[in-house]
Chains A and B, each alone.
Chain A
């Protein structure tokens, strides 16, 4: 059961990161740094049009170029694909008609339609320039032109003719768990004191890891071994995908993620280009690599967040929420990942968040469009929080109540736990009340209201925004179980291995902290290996905020089991009762008799080489694997509070303060926790104020460099202030998921702060980005 773990020697401490020495000295090893002799380089020809038939595709001039080894088009590669699905989704989930390269037609601007393999990337790009290609362009199917409903209704122009409709997914979907309607909710809407309906839009903004996608792969037909190094969040997933695609046994594939330069969801599932590289090495039996450039990454690296949500909320006359109805619309582009890319079913389940109400209905529709496919991005389902938290402010304003007070009245109270949401989720250890009060106090909410009023008198536009959420990490399917192996080798040091795929999350440090703490050894004696299918046990990788919470829990259990074994062997050596033994910093001693001790190295020698002296029935060796079952969901919660100031002349918004009060249970490493929060919050700042991936109404992308797609810099971020509430989860270690929350919760806090600042203008602040021009338009009532 849960325990509020007092900070230990390692767990709960801001231990310096294991990863840092190599990374700060230029000795990291990212996929682009991996050099295998004789490697060939890839450049893709990408479609310049969003939709059309390929009228001509002549690669002969490219093929003739000195240094070009091969040029492939769709018909040369696509037939090699035996099967293509994502492990989390399973083989039976619907998929758009997958293809490695466009064949006959193109379905989005940027779709790869030919692939040049050459002795250098420079020559490969020269080859691309020599390909003669022509299109019979057709009108692109775009939400930018037709709106979500217009795309869904278009039965003439289909993104995927094979699919038969532009509707990728809809809810309810005839699933008995999801009713088709909720008459009780409609009754509430007919009689409630307040019923408010509003629609919130979100624009396309994207992961943008600083390292783009990349892969190097080599098939050796004599050893029958396919070696892969990829910038991936899950080495096991790319191995599985390669095996399925080629019809090749997984045990003939070795996939490795070395250092990975960020991912945020984009590197969770292998994409068409990476799989095409694998097919090419399989054909050529030579090492082949593709390192995506930034233009490609912005254009083709997976998009996100283009969606909207219409909410209707009813309250009684005291402002108590009685029921909520939601309709969600998503643009999933052409070839989304995973499956059809819809996040609606998670949004549907999570939308109630920290609020207490029991009448609810959710519907949603996802549409295919002639744009880049949607990928996972840090909290892919986050529209539920973005829309709900704005709605709370809109409704509070409507009934004339301060949004803090409105939240106080409506959140789940401590005495309601365990609480079952309107969607059937059971919260056991969430603390929305505590984080709300902590955030309000830290930001000085009441004092700010006084300051704000005075500032308004002086023509200054200040605003405050709150946002709350419950972060849920899913634990179904492949995400429902993970394993950690911990072993002590002959020399007495500890090697842990997991199927995680750290791409910035400090996993080498945090899992080692958990193992060192619970096994009773020096941190310096524990090493974690991960992201390598030959040395790590099967696992789903790092994503969905599950690494500390699920793998961390498994690491604790494995370390404790291994410790038991160590003590059993040591008991033989010390002729003591195992229950009288304790291990600290790798030394086992007898309680009350510190002279009687053995080192872990001695115990290991005994366990491996002294098997004859071990008691009958005791398995030699010191090696434990613990497989943990994850609950269907694990939950953390937080409240964010932002203060902004708007320049009335230019419309520029400055974030003056940003407070996060978070309860992620026991923290393995507070420094790492705060780093995760900060990264997510600043991605929210980027999304709300600066980042916007724009297509014109013909489907031409307009923002494919960092000069047009604007990321926040150090000048745009406030110093983030953190408050921690620590309520352990009921799972081993008491750790809760928190990696995505910063990005989930921050947009609404920031938008609400702008909405609050613009109250005097009566502006409807339901869309972003909130760049200076948009803010000026809002002030001028446009």
Chain B
């Protein structure tokens, strides 16, 4: 099987890899770049767990070949936060709204919602549902995820100061 040299920028860092023509972008990111936050939930383009941003657009990295990403700028879940030790608005909102349980689907949701809100900062509820319906979650029943999108919009509007990465036993809301 012939190999190709692929050069791409992932989360601001240049990566050079020698890959078979059939290798997917997802496998390149996970195996060659060792960025394992991008998950594979179906490998046939339905679940969205593998979503990454390639040249500004959310793509399913299980459906894209590594060679197709040659020369591209890729952002993965590991690079979605504004800075080191910070959380993006969507990351913060997922945590506040219990938008995840097992967390396997989470990187795909967060990346696709970030990209969606970048393009459409004030979506309608229908648009929100339509967007997140492109990703599958088996744990949360989507309740916390739907809430998280609204909170993320608020946080973006407020351009809230990045939250601290502390594990303080902070209470999301009071007791019932």
Contacts and interface: CB of A to CB of B under 8 A. Distances in A.
**A pairs with B:** yes
Interface of A: 7, 10, 12-30, 32-33, 35, 122, 208-211, 259-262, 264, 293-295, 503-506, 513, 516, 522-524, 667, 670-672, 674-675, 678-683, 705-707, 711, 713-715, 717, 719-720, 724, 726, 742
Contacts of A27: 37, 78
7 contacts: A16-B96, A16-B167, A26-B76, A211-B41, A523-B169, A675-B101, A705-B44
Given A10-B169, A706-B42, A679 B91 contact: no
Interface in B119-134: 129-130, 132-134
A294 B41 contact: yes
A3 to B, nearest CB: 15
B143 interface: yes
B66 interface: no
B138 A264 contact: yes
Interface in B149-176: 165-176
Contacts of B165: 21
Given A210-B104, A211-B39, A504-B103, A706 B44 contact: yes
Interface of B: 20, 22-23, 30, 34-44, 46-47, 49, 76-78, 80-81, 87, 91, 94-96, 98, 100-107, 110, 129-130, 132-146, 165-176
A18 B169 CA distance: 8
A24 B44 contact: no
A294 B26 CA distance: 15
A30 B38 CA distance: 11
B138 A17 contact: no
Given A26-B77, A504-B139, A724-B176, A672 B98 contact: yes
Given A504-B102, A720-B143, A671 B173 contact: yes
Contacts, number: 211
A671 B172 contact: yes
A277 to B, nearest CB: 19
A35 B103 CA distance: 20
Nearest to A34: B36
Contact of B91 (A16, A25, A678): A25
B142 A294 contact: no
A17 B95 contact: yes
Contact of A21 (B43, B95, B136): B95
Contact of A705 (B30, B42, B134): B42
A522 B111 CA distance: 34
Contact of A719 (B43, B107, B146, B168): B146
B90 to A, nearest CB: 8
Contacts of B43: 293-294
A26 B41 CA distance: 15
A642 to B, nearest CB: 14
A782 to B, nearest CB: 31
Contacts of B44: 294-295, 705-707
Contacts of B98: 14, 17, 671-672, 674-675
B104 A25 contact: no
B95 A524 contact: no
B141 A720 contact: yes
B140 A122 contact: no
B107 to A, nearest CB: 5
Contact of B100 (A20, A29, A211): A20
A13 B175 contact: yes
Report the 6 A-B pairs with minimum CB-CB distance, sorted nearest first.
A26-B37, A523-B169, A261-B104, A23-B103, A7-B175, A682-B141
Contacts of B40: 32
B167 to A, nearest CB: 6
Contacts of B138: 208-210, 262, 264, 679, 683, 711
A265 to B, nearest CB: 12
A714 B150 CA distance: 14
Contact of B49 (A22, A210, A523, A524): A210
A670 B175 contact: yes
A714 B129 contact: yes
Given A261-B103, A262-B138, 10 more contacts: A13-B171, A20-B103, A21-B95, A24-B103, A26-B37, A210-B41, A262-B139, A715-B130, A717-B142, A726-B176
